[in-house]
């Protein structure tokens, strides 16, 4: 069973629909005490980083998720803002602390002559070797909607990236039992479903 973490922000239903289509048992979870019952967790997110962390702390989900991931080594997938929350800090509308599962910071995208936010399809360039990358074609296109991106990350944590003007956008990151997608795999057609299928069936 996969638990989709509901902290009041995120495109929950599209993620659930994608997991349903793939045949994975899943449900929304907002009670921190219920996280133990799930084999894997998904942290979606749409909105601002500070609001995300405030909601997670207020609901008690921050401490519960942190314990599940660090102590119990439960697999976690972060999507879009949910991926950004996996990093150490963010400068979005002030300075905020994230979970710190991944080394790195979330910074404002700045690209002269390019529209920010970065919205639309962009080619995903594979980086390094990982079983997930074996499931994806060499020229997959993924759907992004974001104004901030990860920087100062470990190069070995970067599985795939996209180029937007002068910017190198981390698209897929992974470290131990934590996986993150800056794009929305649930909106990326068959290639996005391959990522969700890998997470549900093979990851950790």
For every residue of 27-54, DSSP letters joined together read EEE--GGGGGG-SEEEE---S-HHHHHH
Does 92 qualify as catalytic in the annotation? no
Evaluate whether 174 touches 157 at the Cβ level (below 8 Å). yes
Evaluate whether 129 touches 169 at the Cβ level (below 8 Å). no
Catalytic residue among 52, 80, 174, 188: 80
**25 φ/ψ angles, rounded to the nearest 5 degrees:** -65, 130
Q: What length is written for the chain?
A: 204
Evaluate whether 107 touches 87 at the Cβ level (below 8 Å). no
Catalytic residue among 96, 118, 181, 186: 186
Does 57 qualify as catalytic in the annotation? no
Does 175 qualify as catalytic in the annotation? no
Evaluate whether 32 touches 63 at the Cβ level (below 8 Å). yes
Active-site residue set: 80, 184, 186
């Amino acid at each position: 069973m996969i638990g989709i973490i509901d902290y009041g922000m995120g495109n929950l239903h599209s993620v659930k629909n994608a997991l349903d289509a793939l045949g994975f048992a899943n449900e929304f979870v907002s009670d921190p005490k219920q996280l133990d019952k799930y084999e894997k967790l998904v942290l979606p997110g749409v909105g601002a980083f500070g609001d995300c962390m405030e909601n997670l702390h207020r609901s008690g989900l921050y401490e519960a998720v942190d314990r599940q991931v660090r102590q119990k080594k439960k697999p976690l997938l972060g999507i879009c803002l949910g991926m950004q929350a996996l990093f150490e800090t963010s400068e979005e509308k002030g300075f905020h602390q994230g979970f710190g599962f991944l080394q790195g910071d979330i910074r404002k995208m700045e690209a002269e002559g390019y529209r920010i936010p970065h919205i639309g399809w962009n080619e995903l360039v594979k980086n390094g070797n990982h079983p997930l990358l074996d499931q994806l074609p060499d020229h997959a296109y993924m759907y992004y909607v974001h104004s901030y991106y990860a920087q100062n990350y470990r190069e070995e944590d970067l599985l795939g990236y996209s180029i937007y003007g002068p910017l190198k956008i981390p698209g897929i990151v992974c470290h131990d039992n934590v996986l993150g997608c800056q794009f929305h795999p649930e909106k990326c057609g068959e290639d996005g479903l391959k990522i969700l299928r890998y997470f549900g069936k093979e990851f950790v």
